[in-house]
Structure 1
Amino acid sequence: MEKDTLEQLRYPIGKFELPEAISEKDMDAWIMVLEQLPERLSRMVSPLTDAQLDTPYRPEGWTVRQLVHHISDSHHNSYIRFKWALTEDTPTIKAYDEKAWAELFDTRSAPIQLSLEHLRAVHAKLVYLLKGLSEAQLQRSFVHPDGNQKTTLKENIARYAWHSNHHCAHIENLLKREGW
């Protein structure tokens, strides 16, 4: 497979890019992506068979099942990071090895309904929280231990809206390629 094709399969919507200025319109759009993700994802993957769920979205990539569980795990971690940033002074968050998590027994084999229901609950709580934050709270931040990168909550909202669209595009593209 050509490098450009593999790169397109890995990053179908491009790599995450933070706008220089974040507008209220941006924030509303990103929160809407987060609000709609559980239903959007459920509509895409619920009709799939086990064989389809166990199909990688790209060569040497995760299966659809692993993607669903990854999204749930990742967004759960993100929700906790929001809470830490709101209650602690620029905390250094706990990173996790998402590739190792994706290889765990539950991620490779558990029914996707477990993560779809978890994602629905986490996102309901997350969106409720985000809609109530003040501008000062949105400027609070945390530090990621990989590179000591400081991230504001506004930036994290952007990152997880992108993350939602990024993985949905993986699944949507597979569904189109396979004619499912």
Structure 2
Amino acid sequence: MNDLELLKYPVGRFEMPVKISDEDVQEYIRILGNLPVELVKTVENFDDEKFDTEYRENGWTVQQVIIHVADAHLRAYIMFKRGLEENNIIVNPHTEKKIMDFGASHNNAVQTALQTINNVHNNWVLDLKSLEDHEFDITFFYPDAGRTMSIPEFLAIFSWHSKHHFTHIKSLKDRMGWK
């Protein structure tokens, strides 16, 4: 893996597991539950200059990464809730770039985004822990991927997404020697 690839994908590119065990699902839930606290702890001493720093050259700023996670995970949580009501919902695609062009990513909205991540993840984990085993069989249809996905697969993606973007920020902090 070259340096740019490592900066873009610090935890590696996502690969859907062939088989997802109950233990894997519990680990995904743990990752989702830990993200808000780990993220807040990592950026607690950041000032505007640090929030406006790109995690890599020509990449998003820390602020944009946090806002993206808040937007993407809020959207995922809503899809998850819809999926509990109506099996095999169709997941409408969205364009990250288009969403990042809206106003929230151009002002100091980090604290609001961190609160959103905290609220979404706390509710998501509570909901996941309340599911009966058979409810994990609920599926989602992704037109972009042309495939149906189960809740465990959905969780695999969003636990990876959590680690992926958290590591963008944590790696930048470590490289820069920020406290």
TM-score (structure 2 length as normaliser): 0.94
For residue 104 of structure 1, what is the amino acid of its counterpart? F
Residue of structure 1 equivalent to 2:82: 84
Higher alpha-carbon deviation: 163-172 or 19-28: 19-28
Unpaired segments ≥5 residues, structure 1: none
- What secondary structure does 1:142 align onto? strand
Query: What's the CA shift for 1:19?
Result: 2.0
Residue of structure 2 equivalent to 1:162: 160
**d(CA) in 2 for partners of 1:28 and 1:108?**
36
Query: What's the CA shift for 1:103?
Result: 2.4
Match of 1:138 among 117, 124, 136: 136
For residue 12 of structure 2, what is the amino acid of its counterpart? G
Which string of whole-angstrom CA distances, capped at 9 and with x for unpartnered residues, describes residues 90-129 of structure 1? Answer: 1111221112212222113233110111111111110011
For residue 130 of structure 2, what is the amino acid of its counterpart? G
Query: What's the CA shift for 1:149?
Result: 2.4
Which string of whole-angstrom CA distances, capped at 9 and with x for unpartnered residues, describes residues 14-52 of structure 1? Answer: 011222221121111110110111111111112101011
Q: Judge conservation of contact 2:82–2:89 (CA < 8 Å) in 1.
A: yes
Residue of structure 2 equivalent to 1:74: 72
Which string of whole-angstrom CA distances, capped at 9 and with x for unpartnered residues, describes residues 61-88 of structure 1? Answer: 1000000110000000100111121111
**d(CA) in 2 for partners of 1:42 and 1:149?**
35
Taking every aligned residue pair, what percent have the same amino acid on both sides? 35
**d(CA) in 1 for partners of 2:93 and 2:172?**
29
Higher alpha-carbon deviation: 149-158 or 61-70: 149-158
**d(CA) in 1 for partners of 2:8 and 2:118?**
25
Q: Judge conservation of contact 2:88–2:138 (CA < 8 Å) in 1.
A: yes
Match of 1:122 among 120, 128, 147: 120
Match of 1:147 among 122, 145, 148: 145
Residue of structure 2 equivalent to 1:103: 101
- What secondary structure does 1:57 align onto? coil
Q: Judge conservation of contact 2:67–2:109 (CA < 8 Å) in 1.
A: no
Residue of structure 2 equivalent to 1:177: 175
- What secondary structure does 2:145 align onto? coil
Match of 2:23 among 19, 22, 25: 25
Query: What's the CA shift for 1:53?
Result: 0.3
For residue 88 of structure 1, what is the amino acid of its counterpart? E
Query: What's the CA shift for 1:167?
Result: 0.4
How many residues align? The count is 178
**d(CA) in 1 for partners of 2:27 and 2:170?**
20
Q: Which stretches of structure 1, 4 residues or more, deviate above 4 A after TM superposition? A: none
- What secondary structure does 2:77 align onto? helix
TM-score (structure 1 length as normaliser): 0.94
